[in-house]
Structure 1
């Protein structure tokens, strides 16, 4: 029986090797994988990989949505081009377009500010706090009561951990609420753009090649972390100095070949490997099609509204890039579900599990009935939440709602405020409200909101939040609202921070008034979500305890779904066969860039790159087997969104690549890991170094890094 939910969830059975490359492992789990790591050729001791204070894990950092790593003792960080895209865009103008032209700071003084949203997080400590979160929770609590009590305990743990502005702590759930770990991170607030190639290198192939193979994309960039003269994080200042990182990765230009082992470390975002078949069908049949339709329509509106204005196009470049990425992933998930019936596969697994669970449940025989009921309620609420998102799809309205909610929450003691509105969150709120000026044009926002309201009107009335229709503006009212609102002005927008709720209720600004009018309806939805989440948080951990016990009894590996925390995965450089009769090799080369060249984006090749390829100026970066410079390569590592920028290391822990994408056939790996076709796509470090030397002449950075070149 599994009466206690505090199970040793890291247990692994003897059959681990059969599942070789699957798993996004918490570092402390790696010693249990020692034999498997040795088997594939990893020479680093697993005990070192489990220690966050030792090389190479001490060099890994998060960008709060992407991954990165230190590559010099002076705070130099390497990540993907698309992970630094916001900083590149922020500093770009139509006259000085770093997106198209690229950017290189030859000296520290020339490095550009990344902006308030560009942050570096260095993980310093991870500790299991499960009992402090879950002990003593009465089974008679309502969902909302339970959710509130857990949230209060989490906030207390965070407050205890965060001693100053330099520290950022979090208490994420693992195994869908079975375990909680407190993670302490150093948060560096002064981050500067050092180098980024032209997007004709860093984003070669664009959205057409996104998730496709073969790829020839140099998706890399460099940032630098700065701190005060005392070595502690500080607000951006010209007096700050480069952060002296405790560790950094050695870069290896010696290269890889087919079958070589790799390690990959980063901060993967979200996976759903333990979802039930009903949840998969809801995503497949309801959620994903609706999301794809909404994003497709929104992108069309943005394109039409910005097409004749280069400045507006620059402002919405990052927005469109992000939406296109989500859209292609969503379409890939739908195609993957159509190609392989993952729900049916899960049906078989679920039936086997349910049979086992009933035989081992003891007094917990109603668990699965209760689980199915709360998941059904969750899916019904998700449909109302999707409708709400359409009804409020305006950046100006989102800003107004954030400001009004902040005013309301600040009437409470800090510990009692909703997460996201405490004093610790104020700098992030200011940063978001400030960042809007780089990605906002009133007329474009108006066009997007008008189209969203039209989409909302077409949603079945039974799926809309009750009473919401009467609160919304008409499409005809929008032009006057945008003309008379002052929230488009950054200074006036920020000036609302600190005002009391009565000031909002008395305001004549149409978007402030709309935010006030919508608040109660939004809280009804939020309270409903808290009730359901509280019930999920009570039932799902019991379910996960049973799943873990079941898998352990079969000798199968047990790892938690990704949740944006530091993870390690491993694999080998591997080709794959997407369909019968077609084998895709694991490397692409610079010659493939010229094969794809056209005179139109996204397949324009910069002249300097073309000349270097045609001149075969390969130097030490030439792969002996390929006879040229490799660009991208495939591995069987288990990755997902958030792993962008993750360090790809050889068996000795040296940097040999950067993760940046997956193949189209792999997109469904977030739900089901298929070892035969799941492949991650990486930038080969040799291409990055070669472009830096032969195209962008970034000699200062090449000298700063420690690079191991191949023996002659």
Structure 2
């Protein structure tokens, strides 16, 4: 399967013919793209976009998994409805179902607590620390030694940065270990729900319409960031005051038309543009089909276990939504791989790069065994990933995950803080507590038990090579799982949190069934983890050498190179654009409110609220009516380069004014995480005019409309 003669393509995005809209660019790279930005009509100077302390970049924030932006000086944040879904669900009950009915705080005193997982990160500083991370690493180190040395240096850099506890810092790698940047973010811990439309606005079409076009989804919500009276981040308290954001985006209701330029800024999660052809074939033929089957089975188990119980439905709403989103994306990748042989495309691109690389003058600093070394470690990486998948299936229980986290914390707390595993240092305690507390809103004993039994049954049917070494004898029999849930107290939040701070001996002496299981599984889990470190260290040793060669190749052509997305602040750009998913079919770039009426069935997921339907049928469009469309646009398409994590990203016009929110992409675009096809790759955005129209005509969110600075179209 793996041939050493096959040259891996490290930067797929740069092997294809350059496209103006491809690339998730680091802000400091934008001056290199000045001519491209000017060509499509962006009037903001590239040097201004490079500066995180200036408008508009200073208004762009992260929610730790989604993107958002400030839209008022009083900490008002706009993001997607699905990004605020967990906080909405946290406050919902069958009696006050804010998911179904929506929520609007008429006053700031009525704003709801977002919960311990709701955070706002404001990026204040980004600095290149590559030398401090990589200097003096010995080629003689094993993969694990190298990985742990780098990890230790990263921890030191983070500790220095977090001397002020108001900040959360990170040191992610770019180009998979070629460069490291230290990112300093203000972490705001008191975040409240201000406004969310009903689910049948914010999630109209549900999973049926997810990744489809045209869509008519008002995927927006508002949060507010609060701080202590001294202006610094503080734990949630009624005494806190709205955060005075240094900058905020002006909202433009002037609208867009086909061909207009857009800028998009946010925190894209992960892309795989630089995977090897063999890795694509592995995902396509082995890994992704298994994942699809597993998610479908887990969802079916949850549906059966929650059927007929409204409280259970509410508790698992966010879990189901998350799994469904990943499922449809993974299935979309498989469909995309079937539609276009991306591995074959990469094979061709590989040959183009090899012709350049095989010239002796272009191999400066590269090992003579580089290709064979990378092929070998990639093969090992994929083999281990199969075992890691098996582990995830076999341990699919929220109580077991909680017990394992608690036991690992006890073991790590025996070490000096700097030597603890990342994720278990003192800086991580609040996040661990938040996850363990959050469980009370998304957990039911009988549902978790059903999921665990189902997962164990499916694990038993997986191929032997997918079973982690030494795991099988340690797992409970499916007919013994019920007894585990009867012999544990971890289902109670107070009992769960009470284990934080206990020593390892207390865990080993415990008669709690899930604590005992966690202790029993620990050595096997640690073995998997250490094997992962060895492989990652070897990858981090080999791949940067390729990255250097590829970047040199592109530099010789006068072209910049963008790194894969890694949840750090990026900027992309493009134009409002239609597309053709197949021969003879062209889909326009706008959907309208009339489509809501056309799709309305009165049943989920096409059950539009009566006030919304009345406003559409009454044509109460006001200033939000598009002159060309003759109605209110709901969603629009652009050619911007996006991925997961870009949800909630600000979509701005040529002047940097907010004209939409990113929330999805077309089904045909899902493979863009692996390969950017400019002809069919389209991102889907909420048109700001629909958002404002719903706020004004349907939900009467007048105080928020007054709080924002809105530019209305000229009469």
| Alpha-carbon shift at residue 552 of structure 1 (Å) | 2.9
- Counterpart CA distance in 2 for 1:351 and 1:504 is 56
Question: 1:144–1:527: 8 Å Cα contact kept in structure 2?
Answer: yes
Quote the residue 2:404 is aligned against: 401
Alpha-carbon separation, structure 1, partners of 2:71 and 2:674: 33
Q: Which one of the candidate residues 444, 468, 473 is aligned to 1:470?
A: 473
Give the aligned partner of residue 135 of structure 2: 135
Q: Any idea what the Cα deviations from partners look like across 1:324-353, whole Å, max 9, x if unmatched?
A: 000000000000000000000001111222
Work out whether residues 64 and 121 of structure 1, in 8 Å CA contact, stay in contact via their aligned partners in 2.
yes
1:494 is the counterpart of 2:497: yes
The whole-number CA distance in structure 2 between the counterparts of 1:544 and 1:559 is 11
> Shift in Å at residue 366 of structure 1?
1.4
Provide Cα deviations, 1:495-540, integer angstroms capped at 9, x if missing partner. 0000000000000001000000000011111110010011011001
Q: Among 532, 557, 568, which residue is 2:571 paired with? A: 568
Secondary structure of the corresponding residue to residue 661 of structure 2: strand
Match of 1:353 in 2: 353
The CA deviation string for residues 584-634 of structure 1, in whole angstroms up to 9 with x for no partner, is 000010000000000210000100000000000000000000000000000
**Preserved CA contact (<8 Å) 1:368 1:543:** no
Of stretches 282-291 and 357-366 in structure 1, the one that deviates more from structure 2 is 357-366
Find the counterpart in structure 2 of residue 172 from structure 1. 172
> Could you tell me which residue of structure 2 aligns to residue 121 of structure 1?
121
Deviations 1:47-76 (A, max 9, x none): 100000000000000000000000000000
Aligned mate of 1:679, from 675, 679, 682: 682
Instruction: Indicate the residue corresponding to 2:187 in structure 1.
Output: 187
User: Paired residue for 2:39?
Assistant: 39
Q: Which residue of 1 aligns with 2:585?
A: 582
Cα pair 1:62 1:266 within 8 Å, conserved: yes
1:364 pairs with 2:367: yes
Matching residue of 1:294: 294
Structure 2 counterparts to residues 633-712 of structure 1, below 5 A: 633-712=636-715
Matches for 1:124-523 after TM superposition, within 5 Å: 124-359=124-359, 360-362=362-364, 364-523=367-526
Q: CA deviation at 1:381?
A: 0.5
Shift of 1:374: 0.4
Q: Map of 1:67-82 to 2, 5 A cutoff?
A: 67-82=67-82
Q: Are the equivalent residues in 2 in contact too, given 1:75–1:243 (CA < 8 A)?
A: yes
SS at match of 1:678: coil
Quote the offset at 1:285 in angstroms.
1.1
Distance in 2, matches of 1:643 and 1:655, equals 15
* TM-superposition CA deviations, 1:428-480 (whole Å, max 9, x none): 00000000000000110000000100111011223311221110001111111
Structure 1: give runs of 5+ residues left out of the alignment: 1-8
Match of 2:100 in 1: 100
Cα deviation for residue 171 of structure 1 reads 0.2
Q: What CA distance in whole angstroms lies between the structure 2 residues aligned with 1:165 and 1:82? A: 29
Q: Distance in 1 between matches of 2:465 and 2:60?
A: 48
**d(CA) in 2 for partners of 1:503, 1:355:** 62
Q: Determine the C-alpha separation between the residues in 1 that align with 2:560 and 2:339.
A: 26
| Count of aligned residue pairs for this structure pair | 702
**Distance across 2 between alignment mates of 1:478 and 1:524:** 25
Q: Does the CA contact (< 8 Å) of 2:251 and 2:657 recur in 1?
A: yes
| Residue in structure 2 matching 1:610, options 609, 613, 619 | 613
Q: Contact (CA 8 Å) 2:16, 2:349: kept in 1 or not?
A: no
Which whole-Å CA distance do the structure 1 matches of 2:132 and 2:199 have between them? Answer: 47
Shift of 1:356: 2.4
What is the distance in 2 between the residues matched to 1:654 and 1:136? 46
Instruction: Note if contact 2:386-2:465 (Cα within 8 Å) is conserved in structure 1.
Output: no
Segment drifting more, 117-126 vs 453-462: 453-462
| Structure 1 moving runs of 4+ over 4 Å | 15-18
CA distance in 1, matches of 2:122, 2:667: 32
Contact 1:637–1:680 (8 Å) recurs in 2: yes
Is the CA contact 1:17–1:36 (under 8 Å) kept in the aligned structure 2? no
Task: Check the 8 A contact 1:227/1:241 in 2, yes or no.
Answer: yes
Contact 1:612 1:694 in 2 (8 A): yes
> 553, 559, 570: which is aligned to 1:550?
553
Cα distance in 2 for partners of 1:553, 1:65 equals: 36
SS of structure 1 residue aligned to 2:358? helix
- Tell me the secondary structure at the aligned position of residue 229 of structure 1: coil
User: Can you list the C-alpha shifts for 1:654-704, whole angstroms capped at 9, x where unaligned?
Assistant: 000000000000000000000000000000000000000000000000000
d(CA) in 2 for partners of 1:205 and 1:44?
36
The question of whether the paired residues in 2 share the 8 Å contact of 1:19 and 1:557 is answered with no
Contact 1:620 1:710 (8 Å CA) reproduced: yes
Give yes or no for contact 1:589–1:630 (8 Å, CA) kept in 2: yes
Structure 1 SS opposite 2:648: coil
Counterpart Cα distance in 2 of 1:672 and 1:550: 20
User: 2:632 touches 2:689 (CA, 8 Å); kept in 1?
Assistant: yes
CA distance in 2, matches of 1:516, 1:301: 27
The answer (yes or no) to whether the contact 1:636–1:679 under 8 Å persists in 2 is yes
Displacement of 1:220:
0.1
CA contact (8 A) 1:276 1:350 kept: no
Equivalence for 1:24: 24
Q: TM-score, normalised by structure 1?
A: 0.97
Structure 1 window deviating more from structure 2 (541-550 vs 130-139): it is 541-550
Q: Which moved more, 1:545-554 or 1:598-607?
A: 545-554
Q: Following the alignment from structure 2 to structure 1, what is the Cα–Cα distance between the partners of residues 685 and 241?
A: 32
> Is the 1:187–1:233 Cα contact (8 Å) retained in structure 2?
yes
Alignment partners' CA distance in 2, 1:539 and 1:305? 47
Q: Which residue of 2 aligns with 1:53?
A: 53
Runs of 5+ consecutive residues of structure 2 not aligned to the other structure: 1-9
Q: Is the 8 A contact 2:342 2:675 kept in 1?
A: yes
CA distance in 1, matches of 2:268, 2:465: 36
For 1:384 and 1:606, how far apart are their aligned partners in 2? 47
Report the Cα offset of residue 18 of structure 1. Answer: 4.3
Deviates more, 1:478-487 or 1:189-198: 478-487
Distance 1:221 1:460 in 2: 44
How many Å separate the matches in 1 of 2:560 and 2:256? Answer: 28
Q: Would the aligned equivalents of 2:75 and 2:226 in 1 still touch at CA under 8 Å?
A: yes
SS of 1:316's equivalent in the other structure is: helix
Q: Describe the superposition over 1:379-418 as per-residue Cα deviations: whole angstroms up to 9, x where unpaired.
A: 0100111111111110000000000000000000000000
